[in-house]
């Protein structure tokens, strides 16, 4: 599978197991067919998924293909629990030695909003705060993590659906933190406000719920209600009521399935 990714733009090799060499010599570009050869020599294999011209610099970016988040804090079980609670499921999840790399495929994206969205993802997932560069190098699946040369770890993709998201969806579903370098704050709203249908448009912007993101939006609303300790009966009332108000509602079985996940 190496070298056959539908979205990688460029591949690199570096002295993965020797930090001093990596600092001295950096990374050098390779073609997809050279990956295994360099990996067997002890080099780490990396890729960039966003497009750029010339040197690998932010100012040279020409197109955003993916938003990214590198998670390596806490146990993998704790990390995956956070990933599964996200309102928009990653298009690709790659398992590395210490955690996961999550990718969201961009249907449309601007360089101007890239860092804003990435910071929000980092805040929610407690990801690496240094990974906001759109041309940062990430590990290639089906190549070995070689920082411990005597104990290599095979990087793999564990989930891939390649679902696309718009910038509007990403900005709406991943709410901004007051300080985007800190975890996102919980909403302090009385439960009685949530159960009043007259407030739903103001609180949840339900006019934005379209056919392509109904499950994701409703799942995000459920998480938001749970953060405010809404009783399960209130959550059911709100979700069922909102579903009836949207242009193309989900059927009853899908709503029941969403609510049963809790």
4-8, 9-13, 15-19, 239-243 — most confident range: 239-243
Nearest to 145 by CA among 54, 45, 229: 45
- pLDDT for residue 23: 60
Per the CB < 8 A criterion, the answer to whether 212 and 248 are in contact is no
Does 112 have pLDDT greater than 80? yes
Sign of CA dihedral 171, 174, 177, 182: negative
pLDDT interval class at 142 (50, 70, 90) = very high
Asked whether residue 177 carries a pLDDT value surpassing 70, the answer given is no
Higher per-residue confidence, 179 vs 247 = 247
| Structural contact between residues 182 and 174, judged by C-beta atoms closer than 8 angstroms | no
What DSSP letter does each residue of 72-118 carry, written as one string?
Answer: -SS-HHHHHHHHHT-SS--SEEEE-SSSEEEEEEESS--HHHHHHHH
Q: Greater confidence, 191 or 251? A: 251
Q: Residue 169 pLDDT > 60, yes or no?
A: yes
- Element holding 44 (H helix, E strand): strand 44-48
Q: What residue spans of 133-251 are helical by DSSP H?
A: 167-173, 191-194, 200-204, 214-227, 232-245
pLDDT, mean of residues 223-250: 86
Whether pTM > 0.85 for this model: the answer is no
260: CB partners within 8 A, 6+ apart: none
> 148 pLDDT exceeds 70?
yes
Q: For residue 178, what pLDDT band results from cuts at 50, 70 and 90?
A: very low
Q: Which of 79-93, 144-158, 212-226 has the lowest mean pLDDT?
A: 212-226
For each of the domains in the chain, give its residue range(s) and CATH number, in order of start.
10-168 (3.30.70.1790), 186-260 (no CATH)
Token pair 């980092």 is at which residue?
Answer: 122
Q: Report the pLDDT value the prediction gives residue 208, as an integer from 0 to 100.
A: 78
Number of alpha helices (DSSP H) and beta strands (DSSP E) in the chain = 10, 13
The helix (H) or strand (E) run that includes residue 255 is: helix 252-260
Chain mean position to CA 247: 28
């Amino acid at each position: 599978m190496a070298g056959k990714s539908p979205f990688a733009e460029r591949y690199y090799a570096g002295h993965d197991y020797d930090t001093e060499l990596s600092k001295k010599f950096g990374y050098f570009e390779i073609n997809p067919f050279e990956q295994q050869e360099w990996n067997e020599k002890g080099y780490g294999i990396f890729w960039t998924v966003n497009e750029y011209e010339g040197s690998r610099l932010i100012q040279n970016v020409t197109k955003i293909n993916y938003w990214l988040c590198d998670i390596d804090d806490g146990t993998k079980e704790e990390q995956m629990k956070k990933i599964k609670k996200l309102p928009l499921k990653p298009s690709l999840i790659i398992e590395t030695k210490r955690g996961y790399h999550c990718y969201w495929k961009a249907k449309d994206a601007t360089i101007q909003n890239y860092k804003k969205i990435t910071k929000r993802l980092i805040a929610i997932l407690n990801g690496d705060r240094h990974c906001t560069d759109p041309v940062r190098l990430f590990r290639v699946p089906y190549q070995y993590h070689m920082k411990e040369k005597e104990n290599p770890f095979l990087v793999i993709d564990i989930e891939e659906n390649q679902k696309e998201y718009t910038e509007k969806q990403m900005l709406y579903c991943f709410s901004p933190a007051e300080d985007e370098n800190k975890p996102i704050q919980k909403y302090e709203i009385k439960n009685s406000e949530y159960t009043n249908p007259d407030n739903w448009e103001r609180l949840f912007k339900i006019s934005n719920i379209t056919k392509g993101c109904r499950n994701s939006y409703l799942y995000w609303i459920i998480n938001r209600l749970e953060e405010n300790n809404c009783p399960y009966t209130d959550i059911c009332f709100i979700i069922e009521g909102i579903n009836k108000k949207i242009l193309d509602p989900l059927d009853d079985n899908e709503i029941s399935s969403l609510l049963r996940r809790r």
